Each structure stands twice: as C-alpha cells, then as structure tokens.
Amino acid sequence: MATSRYPYFSRAGWLPLFICAGIGVLVATTVHWAWSIPFWLACLFIVYVFRDPYREIPSNPLAVVSPADGVVTAVGEAHDPYLDRDAVRLTVEMGHLGVFSTRSPVEGKILEPRNSSDGDNQPHGVWLKTDENDDLVVVMHRGPLHNLPRCFVRIGERVGQGQRCGYIQMGGRVEVYLPPNSRTQVEPGSHVRAGSDVIATLVHK
C-alpha cells in the first residue's frame, strides 16, 4: 500500500519553497539581509498555501470520508459515466484559500475506469474498489486557473482510507460516485474536512 510521508505540508509545495528560500539566502549573503525579507515572507505564504494538516481518520471501514476540504454543493442520484451505472453523486467545492490536498474516501485498490473519457473533455476519474467489492469513482476537476489536478498514486496501487493522494492548486471541484444503496450523511451546504468527516456509509445486507 502506498504510504504518505509528507505530513502537515503538501509535497507539491516543496519545490516553490526551496526556490524561494534559496533566493532569500542568495540575496542575504550577496546583497543585504534586509533585501531578503520579502522572500522569507513569501516562504511563510507558501507554507500557508501548501499546508496539509493532520486529520483523525474514522475507524469505520464502511465509512466514506470526504475527499477534500470544502462545501458540499450537490447530493443526489446520478448516472456514473465512468462505470456506466446508477449511482449516488456527492460534489464538494473546495475553497480558494483552503487546504488543497485531496484524500482517498475509502481503503481499496486503484483501477482504471472502463469509460475513462467520453471524448467531450470529461475529467479523468479514478476507480476505487474496496475489499468488500464496493465501487467508487473519484473525479478531480480543474482548479480556477484551469490547472490540472496532481495525483500522487498510480493505477494498481492500494490506498488507505483518508490517505493523501492528490492536489488541486487553488482548489477545485471533487465528485464522488457511490453505489446506489449508499446512505449519505451530508447535505448541500455542509462544510466537510478531507479525511476525517464522513460523507456517506456503504450499506451491506
């Protein structure tokens, strides 16, 4: 199972942080320390923007945790175009200054959806199959700057419930397609935190 070794700070932020800090050191040593202050302030801003706080993961294996920080904007029945089935779809809209890391809603194996694209600029979805054979699809849409989401896990890997698995710069929209008999636990307007807040429960007879 892929593990997460970058707590409290998203690994997407390491490169800009090192570049900014490197310029700050260079300016401080070659010009004057006072001229490097803007770069150290920029480093603090980068740490804030790329923050990725610790989250307490629920112990219930049938719980579906939120894949992102944000506000639930839609909950209801829908057609899942990735697995071509009836499903329950939950949509989470991320904030532009919130935590931008995304997390796996369940524990399971990552698979390639049968219908990964419909040719009409459909975002790429990730198929998660749990050990209980529940099928979920997570879709990360582009951010407000039309930037592509980043994914830190690969097809064929296993992920843990609440594990950090992606990043959307400046936030975006994340959709989760659930089995049709899932019991939702949020409604439009609910504020959720990635990895810790339960948005639905998978139902088994």
Q: Is the pLDDT of residue 173 over 50?
A: yes
What per-residue confidence (pLDDT) applies to 117?
A: 57
Arithmetic mean of pLDDT, 68-88: 95
Rounded mean pLDDT of the chain? 88
Q: Predicted confidence band at 66 (pLDDT cuts at 50, 70, 90)?
A: very high
The 10 Å CB-count burial string (b at 16+, else e) for 139-168 is: bbbebeeeeebbbbbeeeebbbbbbbbbbb
- 107-151 pLDDT per residue, tens: 999 998 877 654 456 677 899 999 999 999 999 988 777 777 888
| Beta strands in 99-161, from DSSP E residues, in sequence order | 101-103, 108-111, 125-129, 135-140, 150-151, 158-159
What per-residue confidence (pLDDT) applies to 53?
A: 85
In a domain, 132, yes or no: yes
CATH number (domain holding residue 91) = 2.70.70.10
- 24-52 pLDDT per residue, tens: 999 999 999 899 999 999 999 888 888 88
Per the structure, the complete domain to which residue 24 belongs is given by 8-52
Q: How many domains does the chain have?
A: 2
* Domain identity same for 102 and 142: yes
Give the Cα separation of 126 and 79 in Å (integer): 16
* Domain identity same for 106 and 152: yes
pTM of the model: 0.81
> Would you call 137 exposed, middle or buried from its count of C-beta atoms within 10 A (0-12, 13-18, 19+)?
buried
